Structure 1
Amino acid sequence: MLTIIDKYILKRYLATFSVMILLFIPIGIVIDVSEKVNKMLENKVPFTAIAVYYYDFTVYFANSLFPIFLFLSVIWFTSKLANNTEVIAILSSGISFTRFLRPYIMGASIVSVFVLLMGFFIVPSASEGFNNFRYTYLKGNGKAEMLGNNTNVYRQINDNDFIFVNSFNEESKTAFNFTLEHFEGEKLTYKITASRIKWDPKKKIYILYDYNKRTLGELNDKIEKDPEKKMAFKFELSDLTPVVYIAETLPLGKLIDFIDKERKRGSGNINIYLVVLYKKYSVPVSAFILTIIAVAVSSMKRRGGMGMNLAIGIAIAFSFVFFDKIFGTLAEKSTFSPFLAVWFPNIVFGILAVYLLRNAKR
């Protein structure tokens, strides 16, 4: 059962966190507008598109900087409690430091569940709108950058079929130097090649130009040629080169299915997708770790007052974000384990939280 102190601290926890977000998001929007207004005017972006973009920006921005907002808000109101000697009064009444932490952990639980659900269902949609707007209106070579590397793509599309294309054009839905190899076990049974393969969205078929099919036989190979051949395959050309941020735009269930499909295809971007998946779980956990660190740092009076606590808090918060970004990028660009990269900041700062908590109890 919640006591008056529990309700008081929990209310301050949630209220300060909410106010912190409401204060910083307008500042972020103003800075973003000042940086992009010229591009928007130059490209004659519709007002409705801008309005939707800034809704997506708000969700995306709040989710990205959630650890900093949470950490600073806890530092802020706990420092005020300490400066007003309220923490000393609470602990002097016989309440242990662990018991004092209970409303903070409850607050962290509420925030982490909220962030977890947002990451599963709301953030992916906002991320898609945010990135689509940037690549459509704000980047000089937006479409090309959005598609990432679309040359020399080799993919396994199912247990038996492998596809290779030399290059792919998203706008025309056309791939060049197309090859499909079909295996039965470890034996190649037939191979299809074409100088071009184009997707016809109306008829839902593919058009192969300079079509050539070689079927391997025990004694003789069977060769079939056609200047233009219409065929149906169980894949889309756009699947060959998914947009660089596609993992961020998928809800949890679809993201897991997408990763399974890409893993079977031997995708070279699998680490990028795994980092996105693991962060959906690691970010909410960071709420507990940062809350404990913030309370341990700010629950005692310091000679520098609240300013000193905030300075320490800002240094720790930005160190956490720095670790998170560095190891996330390391996993995406190398063979470093995505799971370890995503959870490493939580492990390091979790150890720091235990150390600071033990000292705070003394």
Structure 2
Amino acid sequence: MPPTGLIAVNSEDCERCNEDYEEEYEFHASVCVWTRYSDGTVKLRNSNIELMDQDILYHLALGSESHDLHEMFGDVKFVCMGGTPKRMENFAHFIMGEIGYKLPAGTKLEDISAYSYRYSMYKVGPVLCVSHGMGTPSVSILLHELIKLMYHAKCQDPIFIRIGTCGGVGVEGGTVIITEEALDSHMRNAHEFTILGKTVLRPAKLDKKLARELKALASEDDPYDTIIGKTLCTNDFYEGQGRLDGAFCEFTETDKMEYLEMLSSKGVVNIEMESTIFAALTYHAGIKAAVVCVALLNRLNGDQVNAPKEVMHEWQNRPQTLISRYICKTLAQKGQLKSLSRGSIKSPRRFKLVQQESQAHE
């Protein structure tokens, strides 16, 4: 059991604190002490936000006073993120069919953040589908604003899931990979930040119970493997991942293969460019999170992605299928969905200003 007084809310009220408690103790402590109110809504680790007249989420083209964020997003339970706008638009349409969500008559699925020109965001009932771009800086910007959005919307215990692509290490193309640990280029289960000129390391931890739940939803009928393993996150697609086909390369193929074999020996099964920042910020926010990717190639066999387009498209649908199974299972246990209301603009004047502010930050 935790030391007396460490848990700030009644642990009996916290669903996660009653399951696998010892294994997930650090996560539970973080959630209960720092990042949750007693009703499960998100608490920010930044007191400055409460003192602001309006919090403008300008990369999302939203604002805490221009929009009724609680009305728009208060029912969100799942935040699904992927690299490209088109992929997340496709996922939004896919999950709509999977959960049986119906749009109001005469309406269509809209990009909520269209005025930002940076990210795309679609809401399908309790599921928020958002593009995060490529690489850690883009993901970091988006996560800061999404976490604040969860706070302003008073979302209760949201789950964040990254759906992506990656290069496999000893894993063939088409394999679905659930991240167990996110490692940086120095093999640390952490993400390195530079804040006010100082280096800060934050743990890059994902929810292991969630990873196991996802793995359990893989079907024997799936014509591909679904595995759990360690993920290496790099800041570069070419040299940082040991590719020989970049504009620069100052190492040999032997060097590359020795490096990849070393990664494999330490349990790394894939390489991508977002997992450590995603894990570090969601963990710091006390948000339950998972990363599910599909391998586009086996890096032990080459560097270039050359599978046919139709094959790539089918592969990229595989993580979406697994996530949809999890969402459907969870929603089946928790009840009805709620349609998005159109009466979500509190102040037309502030709404216009937020759009203009977002467009000005290029």
TM-score over 0.5 for the pair: no
Q: TM-score, normalised by structure 1?
A: 0.24
Higher helix share: 1
Larger Rg: 1
TM-score normalised over the length of structure 2: 0.24
Q: Which has the higher contact order (CA 8 A, sep 6+)?
A: 2
